[in-house]
Amino acid sequence: MKQIPKKRMRSTSPGAKTTSSARRREKRKRWVQRGQYAVEVEVEVVYPEDDPSEPCLEPATIRRLDEIARRAEKGDIAYLRCTGRVFQLVEA
């Protein structure tokens, strides 16, 4: 995985402290499975500065995954195909 370097803001005044303006972010794959469909979705995870060992999802990402789950439950394949790789349960 590629790590995105932290951005730093610098002041033009001498002796000013450098502060971090961004947290580390990475692209990860998450699975959403509802009903007979499973969707592999790429999401962006954020590593909080206070505990960088555990990645977190932002609220907008969680809402997006919830919407994908609702659409999978309804069988909206056209929408699911726009969001990621779609798999369908096949009876053996």
pLDDT of the residue at 22: 61
Q: What is the pLDDT of residue 11?
A: 37
Tens of pLDDT, residues 20-74: 446 789 999 999 999 999 999 999 999 998 888 889 999 999 999 999 999 999 9
**Residue 79: pLDDT band with limits 50, 70, 90:** very high
Please give the residue that has the higher pLDDT: either 67 or 19: 67
One-letter amino acid at 51 equals D
What tokens were used for 67?
């919407």
pLDDT at 8 over 80: no
Q: Show the 3-state SS of the chain.
A: CCCCCCCEECCCCCCCCCEECCCEEEEEEEEEEECCEEEEEEEEEEECCCCCCCCEECHHHHHHHHHHHHHHHHCCHHHHHHHCEEEECCCC
Task: List the chain domain ranges.
Answer: 23-88
